Structure 1
Amino acid sequence: MRIASSEKEFREQLESARREAKKSFNDDAMLIEKFVDNPRHVEVQVFGDTFGNAVYLFERDCSVQRRHQKIIEEAPGPGITPEVRRKLGDAAVKAAKAVNYVGAGTVEFIMDSQHNFYFMEMNTRLQVEHPVTEMITGTDLVEWQLKIAAGDKVPLTQEQIQLKGHAFEARIYAEDPNNNFMPGAGPLLYLSTPPSDSCTRIETGVRQGDEVSIHYDPMIAKLVVWAEDRQAALRKLRYCLQQYNIVGLSTNVDFLLNLSGHPDFAAGRIHTNFIPQHYDQLFPPKEAISQVALCQAALGLIMRERRVTDTFRIQSGDQFSPFASSSGRRINIAYTRNLTLLDCQNSVNMAITYNHDGSYNMQIQDQSFHVSGCLSCDGDSEYIRCSVNGVVHKSKVIILDDTIYLFSPEGRDQIGLPVPKYLSGVSATGEQGGAVAPMTGTVEKVFVKAGDKVQVGDPLVVMIAMKMEHTIRAPKAGLIKKVLYQEGSQVNRYAPLVELVDENSDSQ
């Protein structure tokens, strides 16, 4: 789907959309539709049978989207009156009956700010977000499909279908929202989800240790919640998102927390342009990791060291062995160690004093913190339960390789441990002056060859990953020395795609 506001833009967008559609679906036929400013995307679930019956199961609002793809859905639509709801349902049923429709279908509408709605399309199937409809109607729509396919009538009449409560579905994606929602791929090194119950559903096809492949949609799971009203359902959604913890690749979980906590979203003032309109609030400038979180990370590291030495003490049979002590205990003096943590690429130096009572004094710049606590296990997860200057905190802690991950109600913090230079390889960001692959994918089209001169912004390569097309452009003016991948090649993230040198460079 593309938006064009001029003839020149139309031609470019048409060609791009056709290439993407041909690659994904082997069909490059295009439809042209009227564009409505700031519309809502509202769809109605319908069912028809071979006896001429058709019913609707109310509407879903799927307005909040990125790249014209839904990321959060809810049912019923916020602010929609019973009268408009009935008109939507009647229109959807009329569309189904007009073609003698049998089975599950979704009739989609564009709705303007005055609740006028316009037919957009009909999807002849159940959709990803059908669980929210099941939650508010108490139905099993897959069972309905099977019964109708077996020749039965629609299980309920229109009068028997009742709307109860409110439901949300959040799509958990492997993507980087801070990089224009670039799809990602990689391993699920750690995966912990909220517990499922009658009001919480998690529909997924992956588990810890699996890999998100470049060959499929980047959606990891659907998180579906239900409550008696919209505000209660929204609180439950945010609580469950806080418990959805993933390590190994970038996800949109923190973005969904920001989105669901936005005042306009909470008030139901949503439309398809919601994310661009509130971009500054949804993507605030990255702040330094709080010093309290750094204290928790340091405590987690110390507790992990203590666990290792305790294990050694048990194995050695000498509980007084000095080699099995991580307490830093000294006679008549307090032991202070220096620890460096990384906030992105910024080093944070800490001075940690081991107290005889098992607590710690941690100094970060000119701030002092008195820290005590422990590392405990709950199932497969580890938690830091600690006091920092008298304030109690509890965070899930994951320590993998050279990174400490903290998950708390405020979101996720990622804190690095410095790696010695002799262990660190060449930077993976491909800073050779050429264009690099922003994600793992397939080279679909190459626009340049060795010897070509390019200007800033000229298209170099088109890549396709997870059904999306991305054009990689020249980061600077120069001369193409070498094209490193041909059309059809598989490319890893951050791999250089071309060698780009200055036009007057001696390395030509």
Structure 2
Amino acid sequence: MFEKILIANRGEIACRVIRTAKKLGISTVAVYSDADANAQHVKLADEAIYIGASPASQSYLQIDRIIEAARLTGAQAIHPGYGFLSENDQFARACQQNQIVFIGPPVDAILAMGLKATSKVLMEKAGVPLTPGYHGTHQDPDFLKQQADKIGYPVLIKASAGGGGKGMRLVEDGESFFSHLASCKSEARASFGNDDVLIERYVIQPRHIEVQVFGDMHGNYVHFFERDCSVQRRHQKVLEEAPAPHMPEDKLEAMRQAAINAARAVNYVGAGTVEFIVEQNGTAYFMEMNTRLQVEHPVTEMITGEDLVEWQLRVAFGEPLPKQQHELRINGHALEARVYAEQPENGFLPAIGQITYLKYPQQNDRVRVDSGIIEGDEISTFYDPMIAKLIVWAENRDAALIQMHHALEQFHVDGLGNNIAFLDRLVCCQSFKNADLDTNLIQREENFLLPSKASLTTEQAISAGVVELLCRLEKIQHTHSPVWSTHPFWRLNQSSSYLVSLIYSDQTLQIHFNLHADGIWATLNHEKVHLQAKLLDQHTVQIKFANQKFNLSFNQTEQGITLFQKGQSYKFSYVETKFNQTDDENTENNLIAPMPGVITQVLVNSKDMVKKNDVLMTLEAMKIEYSIRAPYDGIVTNAYYQHGDQVKSGDKLIELQPMTENVA
């Protein structure tokens, strides 16, 4: 076995690989950028080498620097993780040229499967079923339009070199084909350096099912069954499970065999994933092959009991597959939820900032957390906004859903937006519980999954006030300072009477407390409630209303209090909190950056006339390209940024004067 390996990645996957390497007695080398100098993967590895500035293009995508780090430390092999250089044939070739083992497939296999069009030609020859469409290399727009017309709308335009949901456009009719084609090619060119596309029939209500395969250098192939990855937002996976529920066994077996045929067709070695778009009746079409380990590999590990990273290391070292097909079995059901720093209520835009409070669920043989993040870490614009992957296992799917719900209830994040409450609603959603799955599930369940601001009960409002009261009294007790000196916004009416003022969703809450020997009397909006409460620790309060007693988790900062209850979070701010506002005259005609990022396109100039919904500018951050569209017909009077410029959330991007009848 290898004595030392380098991990050419960061975050949770780097930590994940290090964990298995340590189990096998293999020394590890981490690489890091400026932003990751104090990251967990750097601390966990035996050695760490600096490779450049924070942008991935200046560090984690620098092939020469990573190769040099391996040479410098004597690493015999490099594990690429996923993303970054994991499917880069030039990187794999550079490893080979420097006598370093690339823990992944051969260069030829990466090349064969790297382009969607090329891979589909190979798969067709191997008898793997394909979605009806055009997979050739002819890229003339008029020709592509003819192919789309021939296939019949709706169609999907897909970047040939694409992946991760990028470079993909749904076209509903022929009239909008050329605009979607231009947009798709632009994104593909910026993301992959290749603007070739293919055209496919759009499968109505499709499921996204993938098969994990493994090959070795001795001609052996196995599959690890399948994963259902249908629940997606922005064409990116949110929640995965294994095995795929409510699918005919013969259809599943056909998919598994097709995946083996696909791997054998390109002499595949190592871990790979063959992805299928699947009709509701179970008919499957080959979509692509990811020539690497997948983000969602833990659900496969949970149902098979196998360590796929260990398999990768053994196969890369030249060993035969640890097990043959008849030795692999499905045991139980597993789910994986991707916990992101993002704002589900605002189009799932990424959230950036510092995680001020982080509590993971207790881990055991049924609950697993894969992460490279700890409390106090920053989520930046440079990398994917994933905080952690939460994986659960149970004997069957219904039990796994319950297990996931309980685990999400125990997962607390504060300091920035996150999708935990959304994920909890997702696993409780009736469609998901019934395995009524397709890639449009989030959109069709939007009212349930993305409700308006959660209404607040009297008990919840009073609980927030109690937390504030007890925390301040605790502080007074330890500092012996008068209450008005530690918090001037409290008013001391009597020795046992207090007023706590909080804001929830623009609503000011005035909660009066009177402390008595038998407990606390709280009054809110003329409603009087008796309760008992005590702090159990700095993040837990025990409260008893009437005959109901419960423990409530919370986090307190200088800005306010966050309560965590039943998978949801409720944020209260202090009355004194100031919110920065800009004068209306400065903002009414300005289009504002919805998130921090890099300007990727500026499509207009000063004095250009534009129509409502025209794309004026695009910016990208953390794998998302966001289009700035005209909210009305107008004239561009100023474009403040150029291609490549960095912007902050809230920056003015474009000044747009509304079109009036007086404008010539």
SS in 2 for 1:385: strand
Query: Offset of 1:474 from its aligned partner?
Result: 2.7
Describe the shift of the 1:393–1:214 C-alpha distance in structure 2 as closer, same or farther (beyond 3 A). Answer: same
Partner of 1:457: 613
Q: 1:386 to 1:276 in 2, by over 3 A?
A: same
Matches within 5 A, 1:354-365: 354-357=514-517, 359-365=519-525
Q: Does 1:396 align with 2:563?
A: no
Unpaired runs of 5+ residues, structure 1, are none
Cα distance in 1 between the residues matched to 2:583 and 2:560: 17
Map residues 288-437 of structure 1 onto 2, 5 A cutoff.
288-313=455-480, 330=494, 336-350=497-511, 352-357=512-517, 359-377=519-537, 382-419=539-576, 424-426=579-581, 431-437=587-593
Shift of 1:477: 4.6
Unaligned runs of 5+ in 2: 1-167
Q: Distance in 2 between matches of 1:190 and 1:329?
A: 33
**CA distance in 2 between partners of 1:212 and 1:98 (Å):** 41
Name the residue aligned to 1:191: 358
Q: Displacement of 1:487 after TM fit?
A: 1.8
Distance 2:634 2:255 in 1: 56
Letter of the 2:479 partner, please give it.
F
Q: Aligned with 1:151: secondary structure?
A: coil
SS at match of 1:11: helix
The CA distance in 2 between the partners of 1:230 and 1:152, in whole Å, is 35
Which TM-score applies when normalising by structure 2? Answer: 0.70
Q: In the alignment, is residue 258 of structure 1 matched against residue 425 of structure 2?
A: yes
| 1:279-304 alpha-carbon deviations (Å, 9 max, x no partner) | 22222232332221111110011111
462 and 255 in structure 1: CA distance in 2 versus 1, 3 angstrom threshold: same
1:344 and 1:391 mapped to 2: Cα distance?
27
Q: Secondary structure at the match of 1:265?
A: helix
TM-score normalized by structure 1?
Answer: 0.90
* Equivalent of residue 283 in structure 2, options 107, 110, 116: 116
Q: Does 1:446 align with 2:602?
A: yes
Distance across 2 between alignment mates of 1:180 and 1:2: 17
Hey, what's the Cα distance between the residues in 1 that align with 2:453 and 2:485?
A: 42
Letter in 2 for 1:376: L
| Contact in 1 for aligned 2:405/2:567 (Cα 8 Å) | no
Tell me by how many angstroms 1:340 deviates. Answer: 2.6
Q: What is the one-letter code of the residue matched to 2:293?
A: L
Change (3 A) 1:344 1:431: farther
8 Å CA contact 1:343–1:414 kept in 2: the answer is: yes
Question: Measured at CA, do residues 428 and 308 of structure 1 come closer, stay the same or move farther in structure 2, by a change above 3 Å?
Answer: farther
Deviation at 1:163, TM superposition (A): 0.9
Residues 78-110 of structure 1, C-alpha deviations (whole Å, 9 max, x = no match):
012433332222121122112222111111111
Q: Which residue in 2 is equivalent to 1:470?
A: 626
* Alignment correspondent of 1:486: 642
Deviation >6 Å, runs of 4+:
320-327
Shift of 1:329: 8.5
Report the alpha carbon displacement of residue 63 of structure 1 after superposing the two structures with TM. Answer: 0.6
CA distance in 2, matches of 1:212, 1:269: 34
Q: 1:496 to 1:55 in 2, by over 3 A?
A: same
Aligned pairs, number: 492
Three-state SS of the structure 1 residue aligned to 2:171 is coil
Partner residue of 1:28?
Answer: 195
Q: Give the residue type in structure 2 aligned to 1:242.
A: E
Contact 2:239 2:338 (C-alpha < 8 Å) held by counterparts: yes
Distance, in Å, in 2 between the alignment partners of 1:270 and 1:321 is: 55
Whole-angstrom distance in 2 between the partners of 1:427 and 1:6: 42
SS at match of 1:163: coil
Paired residue for 2:227? 60
Which shows bigger deviation, 255-264 or 113-122?
113-122
Q: Is the 8 A contact 1:170 1:223 kept in 2?
A: yes
Equivalent residues of 1:444, 1:462 under 8 A apart:
yes
What secondary structure is seen at the aligned counterpart in 2 of 1:435?
Answer: strand
Structure 2 vs 1, CA of residues 265 and 503 (structure 1 numbering), >3 Å: closer, same or farther?
closer
Alpha-carbon offset, residue 258 of structure 1: 0.6
Q: Distance in 1 between matches of 2:599 and 2:438?
A: 34
What are the residue-to-residue correspondences of 1:60-209 with 2, within 5 Å? 60-209=227-376
- Cα drift, residue 5 of structure 1: 1.8
Aligned mates of 1:29, 1:217 — CA distance in 2: 25
